[in-house]
Amino acid sequence: MNEEKKKCGLYMRVSTEDQAREGFSLPEQRERLESFCKFKGYEIIDYYEDAGISAKTGNYRPEFERLKNDIKSKKVNTIVALKLDRITRSIYDWENLMTFLDENNAYLDCVNDEINTTSANGKMISRLLMSVSQNEIERTSERTKVGLAGAIKCGHIPHVAPLGYKHEDKRLVIDYSTKDIIVRIFDLYYNGYSYQKISNLFNEEKVLGKDNWRDSTIQTILENEIYKGDFIHGKRTKHPTYYEDVVEPIVSKEMWEDCQVQKKKNSRSYQRTLTYLYLQKLKCPKCGRILGGKATTKKNGNTYFYYYCNDCKIQFKEKVINDYFSQFIDELTEYDSVVNQFFLPMIKQKFDEPREQLEKEINNQKNKLERIKKAYVNGVFELQEYNEERKIVERAIIELENKLDYTDCAEELRFTPKDILLKRDIDFINKIKLDKEYQERTKTWKDYTRKEQAELIMKYVDEIELTLVGNEVVVNQINFRESICKPCQELYDNGYIDTIKPAIFGNVLGNIRFSNYLPEEEVGEIIMRLRQYYDVGYAEATYYVDKQVFYFNFKEDNSAIVRVFPLKDYYKLDPENKMKTYEFGIIYIREEDKFQMQEIDSAFDYIPDESNNSVIYTKDTTPIPIGVKPVKFCEENAETTN
């Protein structure tokens, strides 16, 4: 044993609160080391404390470096620490330290491990203990990595949620309040916009209430694999780990990859000219991935569009979808007209941002504001950073509250569900009686540009389900957006919107416009309002449930059935269809009946008003003079005209 006087530097380190709770706090280490030195008769020269720093290789510990410098200058010749792992947990670092101590005639003494390096045995034991310590670290690291990998595969992404996503029950899920911004960024870039052009556009529009969008922000979004459902852990390390399909994607893998290829082109001068009708709406029938799109242009100038899955080697023509979709096209375009004129103003914000979602998001933003305030009080933010963050959140709250106000206003608009039914009745009659004017004013599917067709599909279609029959891809069904379908279904169930149904009239097969039960007084009001424009007739018919056939005394004088509806609520009266017959009301128009207003435009731009209740309704065909109200929605209450 070397009898040289031990001039000690007491080294203390903590890295986490957990170590402090286990008895490794700096004051406790200091007390125990002082007692140890007093017992050993060591002279304490100085104290060296590294707080909140791990002993991993590469971590800079300023106090430990100061201790080594004091050893070099001979101020200290012995390091005293509580445990070996307070010094290091790496065999490599340990051997370097041993060499350093030998070169400077210095030693190490550990209280709990009962070792010192003043002898060969002490050095050997220290090496054994260090091996055990490093093995435990590596095993813990392996367990951590396995656990982290499992969590990531379940959607638990250990990062701040990027724009378009949010954390819900620790999982990263799509944030539908900002998802469309991401879709738009990819779509704009895909169609030739540069980073700068997109950021300028967003600044002009003040997207999310911000006017500081940068091209670097757009680039970061476009390069983030999370938007195609994948995640890279340790992206900036030498050995990153790639995880596929860990979250729900916002864009298809093909579109994401196309946008990476696009970076190689001059996006300022490049403008994509092809429009895919069903992009983002189709998933592979085998693996469920969002399909990509491509097109070929033949020598004759015709362009043919295809959708494909690289992984499953599936490819099919767009015509497969078009052929199936054609049965919905006329109904969809007609419905879109009604939505824009009536339905949209009535329930506009309920489509994409229902009241409950808006209120929930407002509460989330208010909670976020409180967290920012607490962080500022606790010294996490400087005043400038706090003000910037606060303004962003406050702007978001104001925008959400404005949307909520609009939702409240939309619920109080003058248009009623009966207006929708009435308008559709009038449109049907206009198509028969004023066909030329109707065609001039009505935009059909073939009149839409391809871009407009794509926008209409994007607006109403949520997903098109595909299936494989042998090697052929066929459409299983079209899922329209629930936000559109649900309120529409509610209107249909309540009798305020019609649908087309096949029907047998005696021995004649045809299609009819059918609506559900309404009370007689409401039916009467609609007929009364219709007779302002057309001298419609009313009849009743018997429907034989078992034969599914209509039999009624209806003159074959080139009259046209406008709409058929049940006179009783048979869904409630006869849920199991045990009754033999149902009674239906029929609104019809005769060949000789003409539009009764002087201005033809009134047939398309106005609907009869319900405000006149002075006329008694009868089922006889009698024109009723009542006011009208405009079809086009405007913010101000429209004045009625006679």
Is 73 tagged catalytic?
no
Collapsing DSSP to helix, strand or coil, 305 comes out as strand
Provide the total of helices (H) and of strands (E) in the chain, helices listed first.
Answer: 21, 22
Collapsing DSSP to helix, strand or coil, 130 comes out as helix
Give the span between the Cα atoms of 204 and 36, in whole angstroms.
70
Residues in Cβ contact with 631 at an 8 Å cutoff, skipping those fewer than 6 apart: 341, 342, 423, 604, 605, 606, 607
Give the span between the Cα atoms of 1 and 80, in whole angstroms.
17
Burial of 91 from C-beta contacts in 10 A (0-12 / 13-18 / 19+): middle
Q: Between the CA of residue 139 and those of 16, 136, 144, 145, what are the distances in Å? A: 19, 5, 9, 10
15, 126, 133, 515: the catalytic one is: 15
Three-class SS string for 563-627?
A: EEEECCCHHHHCCCCCCCEEEEEEEEECCCCCCCCCCCCHHHHEEECCCCCCCCCCCCCCCCCCC
Burial of 628 from C-beta contacts in 10 A (0-12 / 13-18 / 19+): buried
Give the span between the Cα atoms of 290 and 282, in whole angstroms.
6
Three-class SS string for 464-501?
A: EEEEEECCEEEEEEEEECHHHHHHHHHHHHCCCCCEEE
Residues with a catalytic annotation lie at: 15
